[in-house]
Amino acid sequence: MKKILVTGCNGQLGRAIRKEYGDSAELILTDVCDMPGATNLDITKADEVIEFAGRTKPDVIINCAAATNVDGCEKDEDFAYRVNAIGPRNLAIASEKLGAKLIHISTDYVFPGTDPRPLTEFDTPGPLSAYGRTKYAGEEFVRCFAKRWFILRTAWLYGDGKNFVRTMLALSEKRDELSVVCDQCGSPTSASELARTIHYLEPTDNYGLFHATCEGSTNWADFAQEIFRLSGKDTRVEHVTSERYKEMNPASADRPAWSILENYMLKLTGDFMMEDWHSALEKYLKGI
Protein backbone atom coordinates (compact mmCIF):
# COMPACT_ATOMS: atom_id res chain seq x y z
CA MET A 1 0.00 0.00 0.00
CA LYS A 2 1.21 3.51 -0.82
CA LYS A 3 2.63 5.43 2.14
CA ILE A 4 1.77 9.12 2.36
CA LEU A 5 3.30 11.46 4.93
CA VAL A 6 0.90 14.28 5.83
CA THR A 7 2.23 17.29 7.72
CA GLY A 8 -0.22 19.60 9.48
CA CYS A 9 -2.65 16.68 9.67
CA ASN A 10 -4.86 18.39 12.26
CA GLY A 11 -5.54 21.50 10.18
CA GLN A 12 -8.47 22.03 7.84
CA LEU A 13 -6.76 20.56 4.80
CA GLY A 14 -5.03 17.83 6.78
CA ARG A 15 -8.39 16.63 8.10
CA ALA A 16 -9.87 16.74 4.60
CA ILE A 17 -6.93 14.70 3.26
CA ARG A 18 -7.53 12.05 5.91
CA LYS A 19 -11.19 11.85 4.95
CA GLU A 20 -10.48 11.87 1.20
CA TYR A 21 -7.96 9.02 1.31
CA GLY A 22 -9.58 6.95 4.05
CA ASP A 23 -8.09 3.46 3.98
CA SER A 24 -6.86 3.68 0.39
CA ALA A 25 -3.34 4.58 1.53
CA GLU A 26 -1.19 4.25 4.63
CA LEU A 27 -1.23 7.77 6.04
CA ILE A 28 1.72 8.81 8.20
CA LEU A 29 0.20 11.67 10.19
CA THR A 30 2.27 14.47 11.73
CA ASP A 31 1.62 17.83 13.35
CA VAL A 32 3.14 20.10 15.99
CA CYS A 33 0.32 19.42 18.45
CA ASP A 34 -0.40 16.27 20.41
CA MET A 35 -3.00 14.23 18.59
CA PRO A 36 -3.90 10.53 18.86
CA GLY A 37 -2.45 8.59 15.94
CA ALA A 38 -0.10 11.39 14.88
CA THR A 39 3.61 12.04 15.45
CA ASN A 40 4.84 15.41 16.66
CA LEU A 41 7.07 16.71 13.85
CA ASP A 42 8.56 20.20 13.58
CA ILE A 43 9.12 20.78 9.87
CA THR A 44 11.39 23.76 10.60
CA LYS A 45 14.10 21.39 11.91
CA ALA A 46 15.94 19.83 8.98
CA ASP A 47 17.60 16.97 10.88
CA GLU A 48 14.30 15.97 12.49
CA VAL A 49 12.46 15.99 9.16
CA ILE A 50 15.14 14.05 7.29
CA GLU A 51 15.46 11.46 10.07
CA PHE A 52 11.70 10.93 10.33
CA ALA A 53 11.23 10.66 6.58
CA GLY A 54 14.17 8.28 6.30
CA ARG A 55 12.69 6.08 9.01
CA THR A 56 9.10 6.02 7.72
CA LYS A 57 10.00 6.03 3.99
CA PRO A 58 6.88 7.63 2.48
CA ASP A 59 6.19 7.44 -1.25
CA VAL A 60 4.50 10.84 -1.13
CA ILE A 61 4.76 13.85 1.19
CA ILE A 62 1.77 16.22 1.38
CA ASN A 63 2.68 19.44 3.16
CA CYS A 64 -0.41 20.93 4.79
CA ALA A 65 1.60 22.67 7.52
CA ALA A 66 1.81 26.46 7.37
CA ALA A 67 1.72 29.68 9.35
CA THR A 68 -1.58 31.00 7.97
CA ASN A 69 -2.40 33.84 10.35
CA VAL A 70 -1.86 36.70 7.90
CA ASP A 71 -1.70 39.43 10.55
CA GLY A 72 0.39 37.22 12.83
CA CYS A 73 2.98 36.78 10.07
CA GLU A 74 3.40 40.57 9.96
CA LYS A 75 4.16 40.61 13.68
CA ASP A 76 6.68 37.73 13.53
CA GLU A 77 8.06 37.41 10.02
CA ASP A 78 10.98 35.27 11.23
CA PHE A 79 8.55 32.63 12.47
CA ALA A 80 6.62 32.84 9.21
CA TYR A 81 9.80 32.27 7.19
CA ARG A 82 10.74 29.28 9.34
CA VAL A 83 7.38 27.57 8.84
CA ASN A 84 6.41 28.72 5.34
CA ALA A 85 9.84 28.68 3.68
CA ILE A 86 12.39 26.66 5.68
CA GLY A 87 9.83 23.94 6.44
CA PRO A 88 9.05 23.28 2.75
CA ARG A 89 12.78 23.39 2.00
CA ASN A 90 13.40 20.64 4.57
CA LEU A 91 10.56 18.53 3.17
CA ALA A 92 11.89 19.04 -0.36
CA ILE A 93 15.35 17.85 0.68
CA ALA A 94 13.84 14.83 2.45
CA SER A 95 11.64 13.95 -0.53
CA GLU A 96 14.60 14.12 -2.89
CA LYS A 97 16.67 11.83 -0.68
CA LEU A 98 13.84 9.26 -0.78
CA GLY A 99 12.77 9.77 -4.39
CA ALA A 100 9.32 10.63 -3.03
CA LYS A 101 6.78 12.99 -4.55
CA LEU A 102 6.19 16.28 -2.74
CA ILE A 103 2.85 18.08 -2.79
CA HIS A 104 3.11 21.58 -1.36
CA ILE A 105 0.23 23.98 -0.72
CA SER A 106 0.61 27.68 -1.47
CA THR A 107 -1.68 30.68 -1.70
CA ASP A 108 -3.24 33.43 -3.77
CA TYR A 109 -1.42 35.90 -1.51
CA VAL A 110 1.74 35.46 -3.62
CA PHE A 111 0.09 37.95 -6.02
CA PRO A 112 -0.22 41.71 -5.41
CA GLY A 113 -3.87 41.79 -6.51
CA THR A 114 -3.50 44.82 -8.77
CA ASP A 115 -4.53 43.16 -12.05
CA PRO A 116 -8.36 42.82 -12.28
CA ARG A 117 -8.53 39.52 -14.15
CA PRO A 118 -8.27 35.82 -13.30
CA LEU A 119 -4.62 34.97 -12.63
CA THR A 120 -2.96 31.90 -14.13
CA GLU A 121 0.12 29.94 -13.20
CA PHE A 122 2.01 31.97 -15.81
CA ASP A 123 1.40 35.34 -14.14
CA THR A 124 4.22 36.92 -12.14
CA PRO A 125 3.91 36.92 -8.32
CA GLY A 126 4.52 40.03 -6.23
CA PRO A 127 3.37 39.47 -2.65
CA LEU A 128 2.27 42.41 -0.51
CA SER A 129 2.43 40.82 2.94
CA ALA A 130 4.83 38.80 5.07
CA TYR A 131 2.51 35.84 4.66
CA GLY A 132 2.64 36.12 0.87
CA ARG A 133 6.42 36.66 0.82
CA THR A 134 7.13 33.66 3.02
CA LYS A 135 4.77 31.38 1.10
CA TYR A 136 6.39 32.41 -2.19
CA ALA A 137 9.83 31.70 -0.70
CA GLY A 138 8.53 28.24 0.18
CA GLU A 139 7.51 27.69 -3.44
CA GLU A 140 11.00 28.67 -4.59
CA PHE A 141 12.65 26.27 -2.16
CA VAL A 142 10.46 23.40 -3.36
CA ARG A 143 11.43 24.13 -6.96
CA CYS A 144 15.13 24.25 -6.04
CA PHE A 145 15.44 21.19 -3.84
CA ALA A 146 12.89 18.68 -5.18
CA LYS A 147 12.40 17.18 -8.62
CA ARG A 148 9.03 15.42 -8.34
CA TRP A 149 6.86 18.23 -7.04
CA PHE A 150 3.38 19.62 -7.24
CA ILE A 151 2.68 23.12 -5.93
CA LEU A 152 -1.02 23.92 -5.52
CA ARG A 153 -2.02 27.52 -4.93
CA THR A 154 -5.42 27.82 -3.31
CA ALA A 155 -7.49 30.60 -1.75
CA TRP A 156 -10.09 31.44 0.90
CA LEU A 157 -9.99 27.90 2.30
CA TYR A 158 -12.63 26.61 4.69
CA GLY A 159 -13.18 23.18 6.19
CA ASP A 160 -13.19 21.41 9.55
CA GLY A 161 -11.71 24.05 11.81
CA LYS A 162 -11.57 27.80 12.35
CA ASN A 163 -12.41 29.66 9.14
CA PHE A 164 -14.39 32.57 7.68
CA VAL A 165 -17.60 30.57 7.29
CA ARG A 166 -17.68 29.45 10.90
CA THR A 167 -16.65 32.90 12.12
CA MET A 168 -19.54 34.52 10.25
CA LEU A 169 -22.01 31.98 11.61
CA ALA A 170 -20.74 32.48 15.17
CA LEU A 171 -20.89 36.28 14.91
CA SER A 172 -24.40 36.11 13.46
CA GLU A 173 -25.57 34.56 16.73
CA LYS A 174 -24.49 37.73 18.57
CA ARG A 175 -25.13 40.55 16.09
CA ASP A 176 -27.85 41.60 13.69
CA GLU A 177 -25.41 43.29 11.31
CA LEU A 178 -21.78 42.64 10.39
CA SER A 179 -19.28 44.86 8.55
CA VAL A 180 -17.43 42.90 5.86
CA VAL A 181 -14.91 44.01 3.22
CA CYS A 182 -16.47 44.29 -0.23
CA ASP A 183 -13.53 45.22 -2.49
CA GLN A 184 -11.34 42.12 -2.15
CA CYS A 185 -12.24 39.43 -4.70
CA GLY A 186 -11.33 35.76 -4.71
CA SER A 187 -12.60 32.19 -4.95
CA PRO A 188 -13.85 30.53 -1.75
CA THR A 189 -12.54 26.96 -1.71
CA SER A 190 -13.67 24.02 0.39
CA ALA A 191 -10.92 21.90 1.89
CA SER A 192 -12.70 18.77 0.67
CA GLU A 193 -12.51 20.00 -2.93
CA LEU A 194 -8.81 20.80 -2.56
CA ALA A 195 -8.22 17.33 -1.07
CA ARG A 196 -10.05 15.78 -4.02
CA THR A 197 -7.79 17.71 -6.39
CA ILE A 198 -4.69 16.53 -4.55
CA HIS A 199 -5.93 12.94 -4.75
CA TYR A 200 -6.43 13.39 -8.50
CA LEU A 201 -2.93 14.76 -9.15
CA GLU A 202 -0.94 12.69 -6.65
CA PRO A 203 -0.81 9.36 -8.57
CA THR A 204 0.21 11.09 -11.81
CA ASP A 205 3.52 12.37 -13.16
CA ASN A 206 1.81 15.64 -14.13
CA TYR A 207 4.23 17.66 -12.01
CA GLY A 208 4.35 21.42 -11.72
CA LEU A 209 2.50 24.47 -10.48
CA PHE A 210 -1.30 24.39 -10.31
CA HIS A 211 -3.95 26.85 -9.25
CA ALA A 212 -6.60 24.95 -7.32
CA THR A 213 -9.66 26.91 -6.23
CA CYS A 214 -13.37 26.30 -6.55
CA GLU A 215 -14.82 27.69 -9.77
CA GLY A 216 -16.31 31.18 -9.77
CA SER A 217 -15.50 34.21 -7.64
CA THR A 218 -16.98 36.69 -5.19
CA ASN A 219 -15.97 39.25 -2.56
CA TRP A 220 -15.92 38.78 1.20
CA ALA A 221 -19.16 40.69 1.82
CA ASP A 222 -21.13 38.77 -0.80
CA PHE A 223 -19.56 35.54 0.45
CA ALA A 224 -20.90 36.35 3.92
CA GLN A 225 -24.34 37.10 2.48
CA GLU A 226 -24.39 33.74 0.71
CA ILE A 227 -23.41 31.98 3.93
CA PHE A 228 -26.34 33.61 5.73
CA ARG A 229 -28.77 32.97 2.87
CA LEU A 230 -27.93 29.27 2.69
CA SER A 231 -28.10 29.02 6.49
CA GLY A 232 -31.51 30.71 6.66
CA LYS A 233 -30.21 33.65 8.71
CA ASP A 234 -31.43 37.25 8.53
CA THR A 235 -28.10 38.82 9.49
CA ARG A 236 -27.42 41.99 7.52
CA VAL A 237 -24.05 42.64 5.88
CA GLU A 238 -22.63 46.15 5.72
CA HIS A 239 -20.25 46.46 2.77
CA VAL A 240 -17.06 48.29 3.80
CA THR A 241 -13.94 49.12 1.79
CA SER A 242 -10.47 47.79 2.56
CA GLU A 243 -9.46 51.35 3.39
CA ARG A 244 -12.22 51.63 5.96
CA TYR A 245 -11.32 48.20 7.41
CA LYS A 246 -7.68 49.30 7.70
CA GLU A 247 -8.78 52.39 9.63
CA MET A 248 -10.67 50.15 12.05
CA ASN A 249 -7.79 47.60 12.22
CA PRO A 250 -4.53 49.52 11.59
CA ALA A 251 -2.29 46.56 12.50
CA SER A 252 -3.83 44.32 9.83
CA ALA A 253 -1.68 43.15 6.90
CA ASP A 254 -2.30 44.34 3.36
CA ARG A 255 -4.44 41.92 1.36
CA PRO A 256 -4.58 41.60 -2.44
CA ALA A 257 -7.66 43.34 -3.82
CA TRP A 258 -7.95 40.92 -6.72
CA SER A 259 -6.73 37.35 -6.26
CA ILE A 260 -9.08 35.28 -8.38
CA LEU A 261 -7.07 32.27 -9.51
CA GLU A 262 -7.81 30.50 -12.78
CA ASN A 263 -7.16 26.75 -12.66
CA TYR A 264 -5.46 27.01 -16.03
CA MET A 265 -2.95 24.16 -15.70
CA LEU A 266 -5.64 21.75 -14.51
CA LYS A 267 -7.61 22.59 -17.64
CA LEU A 268 -4.60 22.49 -19.99
CA THR A 269 -3.30 19.13 -18.80
CA GLY A 270 -6.51 17.19 -18.16
CA ASP A 271 -10.27 17.32 -17.86
CA PHE A 272 -10.43 17.83 -14.09
CA MET A 273 -12.78 20.53 -12.80
CA MET A 274 -13.20 21.73 -9.25
CA GLU A 275 -16.73 22.36 -8.02
CA ASP A 276 -18.40 25.77 -8.23
CA TRP A 277 -17.95 27.68 -4.99
CA HIS A 278 -21.72 28.10 -4.43
CA SER A 279 -22.45 24.36 -4.54
CA ALA A 280 -19.33 23.50 -2.53
CA LEU A 281 -20.42 25.94 0.17
CA GLU A 282 -23.93 24.52 0.23
CA LYS A 283 -22.56 20.99 0.74
CA TYR A 284 -20.27 22.22 3.49
CA LEU A 285 -23.05 24.00 5.38
CA LYS A 286 -25.24 20.90 5.26
CA GLY A 287 -22.45 18.96 6.96
CA ILE A 288 -21.80 21.22 9.95
Residue 254 falls inside a structural domain:
no
Decide: 43 and 50 in contact? Cβ < 8 Å.
no
Q: How many CB atoms lie within 10 A of CB 201?
A: 22
Residue 273 falls inside a structural domain:
no
For 149, phi then psi, to 5°, come to -125, 150
Render 249-283 in DSSP notation, one character per residue: -TTSPP--SB-PBP-HHHHHH----PPBHHHHHHH
Q: What is the pTM of this model?
A: 0.96
Question: pLDDT digit string (tens) for 171-200?
Answer: 999 999 999 999 999 999 999 999 999 999
Whole-number pLDDT of residue 246: 82
Cα separation, 138 vs 126, whole angstroms: 14
Residue 84 falls inside a structural domain:
yes
SS3 per-residue string spanning 89-115: HHHHHHHHHHCCEEEEEEEHHHCCCCC
For residue 279, give every residue at least 6 positions away whose Cβ sits within 8 Å of its Cβ, in sequence order, or none.
none
Q: Which residues are catalytic?
A: 131
Residue 25 falls inside a structural domain:
yes
Question: pLDDT digit string (tens) for 28-76?
Answer: 999 998 888 999 999 999 999 999 999 999 999 999 999 999 999 999 9
Whole-number pLDDT of residue 247: 82
Residue 156 falls inside a structural domain:
yes
Question: pLDDT digit string (tens) for 216-271?
Answer: 999 999 999 999 999 999 999 999 998 888 887 777 778 899 999 999 999 999 88
Render the chain in DSSP notation, one character per residue: --EEEEESTTSHHHHHHHHHHTTSSEEEEEESS--TT-EE--TT-HHHHHHHHHHH--SEEEE------HHHHHH-HHHHHIIIIIHHHHHHHHHHHHT-EEEEEEEGGGS-S-S-S-B-TTSPP---SHHHHHHHHHHHHHHHH-SSEEEEEE-SEESSSS-HHHHHHHHHTT-SEEEEE-S-EE--EEHHHHHHHHHHHTTS---EEEE---BS-EEHHHHHHHHHHHHT---EEEEE-HHHHHHH-TTSPP--SB-PBP-HHHHHH----PPBHHHHHHHHHHT-
Per the prediction, the chain carries an average pLDDT of: 96
Residue 234 falls inside a structural domain:
no
CA distances from 161 to 88, 100, 249 (A): 23, 29, 24
Cα separation, 35 vs 40, whole angstroms: 8
User: Which residues, in sequence order, are bridge partners of residue 186?
Assistant: 218
Residue 20 falls inside a structural domain:
yes
Whole-number pLDDT of residue 152: 99
Whole-number pLDDT of residue 35: 85
| Number of domains into which the chain is organized | 1
CATH number of the CATH domain containing 47: 3.40.50.720
Cα separation, 256 vs 127, whole angstroms: 8
When pLDDT is averaged across residues 112-126 and rounded to a whole number, the result is 96
Residue 180 falls inside a structural domain:
no
Q: How confident is the model at residue 9 (pLDDT cuts 50, 70, 90)?
A: very high
Instruction: List the domain range (segments joined by +) for residue 93.
Output: 3-162+189-213
